[in-house]
Amino acid sequence: MIVVVLACNLFIGCKKDAPEIVTSDQGKPGEVLGADTLGYDSVDVFISGAEYVALNKWNACYWKNGAMHILDTDHSVANDIIVSEDNVIVGGEFEGKPCYWENGKRIGIDDRTGKVKAVGFHKGELYLVGELYDENENISKAFVWNKATRILDSGYASDIAFSDGNVYISGMDSKNPCYWRNGIKTKLSGNFGHGYAIEVAENNVYIAGEYRPTNGGHYLAGYWKNGEFISPLGNSAYIINIGIRSGDVYILGSEVDSKNADSVEDNAVVVKGNKKTVLSAGKNSVSGAADIAFDGENEYVLGSYSLISGPDRAPHTCYWQNGKLHTVGKSQTVGTAILLNPRVSQGK
């Protein structure tokens, strides 16, 4: 799922119990681990994203264990990635149109302006979700694609999950955060808001997002569990993704750090229950988290960082493995989703 890390001011006072804070084991910013060192014994690390070219032009790409694979050289962005039977499938947009790439071959799915935000496989079939722009009505519309495009509502679809034969899609209708279960919409709030990501585990539906408790007010960030909103960080954070492991809920994004009166900086954060982990690339940087994946007890948090000063202040794609920073490739890139694919043991 695409999640673009933004610096957001979300101050205003909803008091919450302060989470326990843990600071990450910072690696060395700018130290790039190559294709021969990024892989691990048990998994291959896939990351979808894009490389900045020039004049607001991006090239869709993905990385496998740190090696970049360019998907298109015209303006394009890769927003999500899955691997099925050694087939690498990436969803995104090409020249403003929704598409996906299968093993590097681009396949367009609709002639309207739009984008694929998330991809998934269910019962052997490919599903894509995202948004399309309706020129006649001058609005964006949420869609799901499975061999054909089906409009869900006005707004957008952001993520997809499957459980017990059911298809769950998060997003937003004309103004409300919501999700669709087999095409039937459930509103999460009557106020303006967003549903950014969805997970379903043990019959519980979790959606990361935000909403405004009052019209025109500031957002509260957090997640809904079966319709109940939980906000561990109040409105100091921008929460854009969620992960579930062994019943534990992880939410992630970026949080404003205003301790320095001369500047307001963002740091990537992951919150598990009442424990907040701050992930950074050092004192001379800002960072944000975009996605999370698990391999046993190992946690991989995808994100980006930028140096505040110095010659190279462009964004760097990175991930933190159990809190340790790994820079992926060169600068001027964005990572949108991370996938861990189990390796087949050789000679065993």
The 3-state secondary structure of 22-61, one letter per residue: EECCCCCCCCECCHHHHCCCCEEEEEEEEEEEECCEEEEE
Token representation of residue 29:
């910013």
Kindly write down the DSSP assignment for every residue of 117-165, as one continuous string.
EEEEEETTEEEEEEEEEETTTTEEEEEEESSSEEEEEESEEEEEEEETT
Tally of CA atoms within 13 A in the half-sphere of 245 that contains its CB: 15
Interatomic CA distance for residues 259 and 87, integer angstroms:
47
Token representation of residue 257:
């750090």
User: Residue 39 pLDDT > 60, yes or no?
Assistant: no
pLDDT, one tens digit per residue, over 109-128 is 999 999 999 999 999 999 99
pLDDT of residue 128: 98
pLDDT, one tens digit per residue, over 203-253 is 999 999 999 988 777 899 999 999 999 999 998 899 999 999 999 999 999
Percent of all residues in the chain with a pLDDT value above 70, rounded to a whole number = 85
272 within 8 A of 322, measured Cβ to Cβ: no
CA distances from 346 to 42, 66, 86 (A): 11, 21, 16
> Global pTM?
0.88
